[in-house]
Structure 1
Amino acid sequence: LFTSFVELLSMETENTAAASIAIRKMAVSVIDSSDLRLILSVLYIMVEVMRSPLDTESDEQRHNRSMFMEDLVTPLVGDEILPVILFSMITKFCSGSAPHFPMKKVLLLLWKVVLVSVGGLRELQKKKNEVREKYGLPPLPEDTYEVCKNMRASSPPTSAADLIEQQMPRRAFRGGKRSSLDNDPFENSNGEDNIFNDVDGNARQSSDEDTPPTPPRPATPTVVHQKTLPWKPKVRQKDLEQFLDTTRMKFVGFQVKNDLASLAGLPHPIHEGVKVLKEHLYISLTEIQIKREEEIAKNPFSKPETDVANSPVEILFQAILPNLPQYMIALLKILLAAAPTSKTKTDSINILSDVLPEVMPLTVLQSMKLGIDVNRHKEIIVKAISGLLLLLLKHFKLNHVYQFEFMSQHLVFANCIPLVLKFFNQNILSYVTAKNSIPCLDYPGSVIGEQPELTAETLESGDNQPYCWRNLFSCINLLRILNKLTKWKHSRTMMLVVFKSAPILKRALKVKQAMMQLYVLKLLKMQTKYLGRQWRKSNMKTMSAIYQKVRHRLNDDWAYGNDMDARPWDFQAEECALRACVDRFNQRRYNPHSADPDFKPVDTCLHSVLGEDIDLTEEFKQNYERWLEMEVYSNYIDWDQVINC
């Protein structure tokens, strides 16, 4: 049944008649994609049901689910797998050749297909520890989600106007004076009810005159938590090598390459420093993969690559590799059109073709319902694209770092960094707390029980949640994508500085959610050394939050700005060198015909190809001497010229 619906989907995507009708229409509506939406809905239900295993799952059900996951990365129609079919639908939609494609359903199905076939982020964490164990490395020191669960969100940095408003009531009554040293910058609780508070982060308190004195009650025992850093500090091998090179040049006068053990001639405090650095040394899979690629480039015959696993991630990357730049551009185009900050233009793509009715609403109630539905439609598109991009980036990085770098470079070339910054250049607190939903029409209430009458009151009455989980999920995903693109990349970090991302990111700290604040602070940390001393001086609360919540690199001078390598031409050379390594990797692994034939291995064994008996035809045997006389002996050959060529 699943294969049949995939075939139907492929047939509908190649339906040129429906596409030509949609192109000629002035406004494409939901009627033009009724068949496609039905097929995509059935496929989505199948994928979503198979994604979540049952608590009491039998062996047969487990086997069927594993077979279904294999079918998702197996060519079912021609030579294309289902993700490639969906990606091609996105590119056709963005090119204008198929404006009637329902993009929301296509993106949701594509995201869930990738999620089921390669696994979610929890499965990725387990795979990463398994691969690290394979290379003899210790497991990951922490789980990001567990750390963020126990992390308390901090108060957002206040502006000058907020500081004046805070100081005015304090001057009125100063009965209980409290030292500023007792104030914890992480003052709100971890409960969801206090995630969104006032902008200054202070709860509203009444004066002592309004509240009667409460009788004393017995004290309850409190659990004292030891104040420690949430993350274990890390040191890269590159940082340790730079530290040893600098100290050896200072105290000994020469450097010793690729030697991390000998400390002869160095003072005792340096010995202790090296010991601390080695205790926190973290070797990533990226470093191992890059070192392996360097060995293959130097010794292509003695150390060839023979351990390429045919995993679902590898199959997916091979399938989307030829058209990956077009796929990334198409996704970012749709993300730009769905962003709340984007303005409606005549030349932009129409992502509302599967939500706008054929006849526009005539009453105010219908217009309000359509407006809510349009905003919800855009939010779902942003959620699907952000989840898909983050999932692909993380899985490609685990599979091979140069697959991740290939996708990252094309995202950067397609202006993903300024696009994400433009997305956050809005009232992000209002976006996260927006309620573009109608509870009485949400599933499963829309199909269970008696349906209430749709009135203005039911439209305005929303749920009691203080935030929209969908928008919060999208914001965290986009911040993580931005971190993935800019981490350890000086040229891309300078892009954050050039596009003036610091005030945009500081406004995002108003959302008092621990994980979102963590990734905002990471983005601010990597560019503090380029923002200048005055910025750091006037943003000490943000600097303190970075120190308390972001992982420490023991020899990283992020807070001081002593970066001597901040030269644009060095950054450009670094980006070009990375691109050359990525191109060499793709040519070697995925384009075997590009190699020089003179350097390919030749079979000279007499027992294999050269020892085979070849049956010659009678016609060839009879005319062999004549062929030699005409083609070989009669033709003059300048052997000197042949040798010189």
Structure 2
Amino acid sequence: MQLDQDSQKLCILKLLNGLEVTNRDCRLRVTRAILYLSQGVFGECDTESDVLKSVRQNIFMLHKAGTFSALVDLLSMEIDNSQALSSALRKPAISLADSTELRVLLNIMNMMVETMCHESEDDSKDWILMREAFRKELGSPVYNNEPFAVLLFTMVTKFCSGHAPHFPMKKVLLLLWKVVLFSAGGFEDLQEAKVCQRQELGLLPMPEDSIRVTRGLRASSPPASAADLIDQQQQRRARRPKRGLAKQDSLDAFNETDPYKSDDIHDDEDYGDENDSGIDGEVDLLERDEIMPPVSSAMGEKLVFPKGLPWAPKVREKDIENFLEMSRSKFIGYQLGGDTDTIVGLPRPIHESVKILKQNEERVEQTPAETLYQGMLPNLPQYMIALLKILLAAAPTSKAKTDSINILADVLPEEMPITVLQSMKLGVDVNRHKEIIVKAISALLLLLLKHFKLNHIYQFEYISQHLVFANCIPLILKFFNQNIMSYIAAKNSIADLDFPHFVVHDLPDLTAESLEAGDDNQFCWRNLFSCINLLRILNKLTKWKHSRTMMLVVFKSAPILKRALKVKQAVMQLYILKLLKVQTKYLGRQWRKSNMKTMSAIYQKVRHRLNDDWAYGNDIDARPWDFQAEECALRAGVERFNRRRYESASRALEFSAVDTCAQSVLGHTSDLPEEFNVTYERWLEREVFSDAIRWEELLQQ
């Protein structure tokens, strides 16, 4: 750090030259030196802020020198290293030592991508331009004509197939998630893309920003114990005024009424649930002030939120057709059979939907999501199966089996612990290792689903079907079929060992008591983030899919989801209530009667749609004999889409007729390279004229 900028650049270039040496040990020393640079040369820093500042400066110079591309080439070589693969396959137990080179490379890449993701007010113009160039580079097919994420997906499938058991999956999955997040964009970028698409289609702006609404549903207090929850329920009931029975106001499209103003009239009644697997009574949900807290203005006055649901109602094409047919049949006495053009006097959403239907010209724009889908398409089913296999192995409810994959290759040491303290520390590392894997996979799957849905609906349906075929729905339900409160309140982190705190402060004495106590946080944001992501994935897989909704019913998800409602976090509760809403019509009248608090919470806090009769089971689409045909029709449509857009050119070459006529083949004119024209006479002399032709041998054959 004491060198001038030119000397620092020269030092980096010399290190990059060291990556080209054939000696494996020398190459490993060079990569470790680059890793030390990417970590901010922390040995010469006094504070954590100095380390982070040095990290950004060094990452800037490393990327400017072309370090990332050199690391990708080295990573590709390590992936195909036959010696390391065969050694790992022969060993009975895999440990940290088997993935040293890969972990060093992945650590450097993680540092570079993570640093590039975060913007700072102090960023210079050169830094901003470099970040955008790096973002385009990650999303473009520049690494072996494929995006960099496809290379990481290949590592995941090799690991799950058993051909490379030493791959450090936690680091691979973290890097894969960050690469997709940075190259394709996060949730804010998705929201901006939605707004731009509506403008291009000539539609009115969206009535709400889903991200802002979701963030408005803030968490109340952290998850409490069972005794605390009972005390909170009793205090709330004591504060509520006694009311007589009153007719509850209904909702309309403009949210003019307040669905929160009527308390549940069954508060003092004890409704049991016969199918609740030991859950007694109803789960107390967040009150209105916990979901939408009042905000005070600068003058100290209390601001009042608009009455009604935070969501505006939605409508889809099938709702439009059904609504038009029912209206025409009721008021006019005739039907037009699928006519959506006669829309005079109908609501605005119907006008917008018809306008979209008429704009059906296909235009393929090479967005990062489109490029990623093209790269993933040949092996997408294998990618999804591999991710779910790892998610199953990392789930807390999964039991160790002899045939299951080993996801602990990059956390287990060569020598197992011999003291109680070492065993406790390893236990914390193993649990944290699994939690990070679940976090990375859940965030990655959610990002893929959201980006592909915005890019093209059939891309979303293709990845959704393969997730469903790979038993993603029962896997997520299995994940939640645990003590979810204990999982979210888990303390599997040692704050004193986190970077950069660990490298600039003296390490305190770790004892069994300090490890057991954990940190001061009352709940783990990492596990809460994973749970919300998995719930959102489950919502996206089952939305408007009756066959998949029936899977929720068949696997008895209602009591599992109701137990998860004990977590006092508004966003998580919202997605749980959405999952309960879509299956209430199949759960029967007795279930709805025994769970009136849950029904009331769904009515108050979940978005409703046109002609939404979720609480009565009168949906004309809810016919079990149509479920299989529905999935088959969707699969056929997805396959036609993939063949039309992605396989037409390749299949045309693959299935074209082969010309076996000698005269026809020799009659074609072919462009020969310049080297052939120069050396043709020498080749003719060597291969033809200098060799005697033995015609008698030819005739004897």
Q: Same fold (TM over 0.5)?
A: yes
Q: Choose which of 168, 187, 196 in structure 2 pairs with 1:130.
A: 196
Corresponding residue of 2:389: 333
372, 377, 384: which one aligns with 2:428:
372
Q: CA RMSD for the aligned pairs?
A: 3.3
Question: CA offsets, 1:603-642, max 9 Å, x none?
Answer: xxxxxxxxxx9999xxxxxxxxxxxxxxxxxxxxxxxxxx
Other-structure match for 1:256: 336
2:480 pairs with 1:424: yes
Q: Is the 8 A contact 1:141 1:232 kept in 2?
A: yes
Tell me which residue corresponds to 2:315: 235
Structure 2 CA distance for partners of 1:17 and 1:532, relative to 1, 3 Å: same
Q: Are 1:151 and 1:230, in contact at CA under 8 Å, matched by a contact in 2?
A: no
Further displaced range: 344-353 or 134-143: 134-143
Q: CA deviation at 1:283?
A: 5.0
1:59 to 103, 109, 125: 125
Letter of the 1:551 counterpart: R
Q: Using the alignment, how far apart are the partners of 1:443 and 1:71 within structure 2?
A: 28
Equivalent residues, number: 543
Aligned to 1:392: 448
Q: Which residue number in structure 2 is paired with residue 246 of structure 1?
A: 326
- The answer to whether 1:4 aligns with 2:60 is no
Match of 1:41 in 2: 107
**Aligned counterparts of 1:175 and 1:319: Cα–Cα separation in 2:** 59
Distance 1:67 1:73 in 2: 10
Q: CA deviation at 1:239?
A: 1.2
Q: Distance in 2 between matches of 1:312 and 1:391?
A: 12
Distance in 1 between residues matched to 2:423 and 2:512, nearest whole Å: 11
Equivalent residues of 1:155, 1:201 under 8 A apart:
no
Distance in 2 of aligned mates of 1:202 and 1:557:
24
Q: Give the conservation status (yes or no) of the 8 Å contact 2:311–2:607.
A: yes
CA deviation after TM superposition for structure 1 residue 155, in Å: 11
Say whether the 8 Å CA contact 1:233–1:280 is kept in structure 2. no
Alignment of 1:94-493 (within 5 A): 94-151=160-217, 178-179=242-243, 222-260=302-340, 275=346, 278-279=347-348, 281=350, 288=356, 305=362, 307-493=363-549
CA 1:514–1:180: 2 relative to 1, 3 Å? farther
**Shift of the alpha carbon at 1:199?**
7.1
Q: 1:112 to 1:177 in 2, by over 3 A?
A: closer
Distance between the aligned counterparts of 1:536 and 1:593, measured in 2? 54
CA contact (8 A) 1:133 1:139 kept: yes
TM-score of the pair, normalised by structure 1: 0.78
What are the Cα deviations for residues 298-334 of structure 1, in whole angstroms up to 9, with x where unaligned?
A: xxxxx6x4x3111111111111100000000000000
Task: Determine if contact 1:438/1:458 at 8 Å carries over to the other structure.
Answer: no
Q: Deviations over 1:382-410 (max 9, x none)?
A: 00000000001100111111111111111
Q: Identify if the C-alpha distance between structure 1 residues 387 and 138 changes in structure 2 by more than 3 Å, giving closer, same or farther.
A: same
Q: CA deviation at 1:591?
A: 1.0
Find the aligned partners of 1:133 and 1:588 in 2 and give their Cα distance: 28
Match of 1:190 in 2: none
Distance 1:178 1:325, change over 3 A: same
CA distance in 2, matches of 1:8, 1:566: 54
User: Once the 2 structures are TM-superposed, how far is the Cα of residue 538 of structure 1 from its aligned partner?
Assistant: 0.8
Question: Residues of 2 paired with 1:169 and 1:331: CA distance?
Answer: 44
Change (3 A) 1:18 1:226: same
The answer as to whether partners of 1:421 and 1:504 remain within 8 angstroms in 2 is yes
8 Å CA contact 2:585, 2:614 repeated in 1: yes
Distance in 2 between residues matched to 1:282 and 1:344, nearest whole Å: 56
Distance 1:592 1:167 in 2: 62
Distance 2:232 2:494 in 1: 41
Shift of 1:423: 0.5
Cα distance in 1 between the residues matched to 2:381 and 2:215: 36
After superposition, give the CA deviation of every residue in 1:39-60 in whole Å (9 maximum; x if it has no partner).
0000111111111122133332
CA spacing shift, 1:451–1:532, aligned 2, 3 Å: same
Letter in 1 for 2:129: H
Q: Which stretch shifts more, 548-557 or 470-479?
A: 548-557
Please state how far the C-alpha of 1:80 moved relative to its aligned partner: 3.6
2:124 partner amino acid: S
The verdict on how the C-alpha distance between 1:2 and 1:137 changes in structure 2, with shifts beyond 3 A counting, is same
TM-score by length of 2: 0.72
Question: 1:168 & 1:320 partners in 2: Cα distance?
Answer: 50
Which one of 61, 68, 78 corresponds to residue 144 of structure 2?
A: 78
Aligned residues of 1:3 and 1:76 also touching (Cα < 8 A): no
Q: 1:542 aligns with which of 598, 604, 624?
A: 598
SS of the equivalent of 1:138 reads: coil
CA distance in 1, matches of 2:358, 2:158: 40
Gaps of 5+ in 2: 1-66, 246-260, 265-281, 288-299, 657-667, 672-701
- Which region of structure 1 is more displaced relative to structure 2, 36-45 or 17-26? 17-26
Distance 2:241 2:624 in 1: 51
Q: Is the 8 A contact 2:139 2:184 kept in 1?
A: no
Structure 1 residue 577: deviation in Å?
1.1
Between the aligned partners of 2:180 and 2:240, the Cα distance in structure 1 is 57
Which amino acid letter does the alignment assign opposite residue 245 of structure 1?
A: E
1:148 CA drift (Å): 2.5
The answer as to whether partners of 2:392 and 2:398 remain within 8 angstroms in 1 is yes
Q: Deviations over 1:91-119 (max 9, x none)?
A: 11001110000000000001101111101
Structure 1 residue runs without a partner (length 5+): 186-197, 204-219, 264-270, 296-302, 601-612, 617-645
The match for 2:607 is: 551
**How far off its partner does 1:150 sit?**
2.8
Q: State, as a whole percentage, how many aligned pairs show the same letter.
A: 64
User: Aligned partners of 1:250 and 1:153: how far apart in 2?
Assistant: 46
Moved more, 236-245 or 340-349: 236-245
- 1:545-573 C-alpha deviation (Å, 9 max, x unpaired): 11111111131110111123322231211
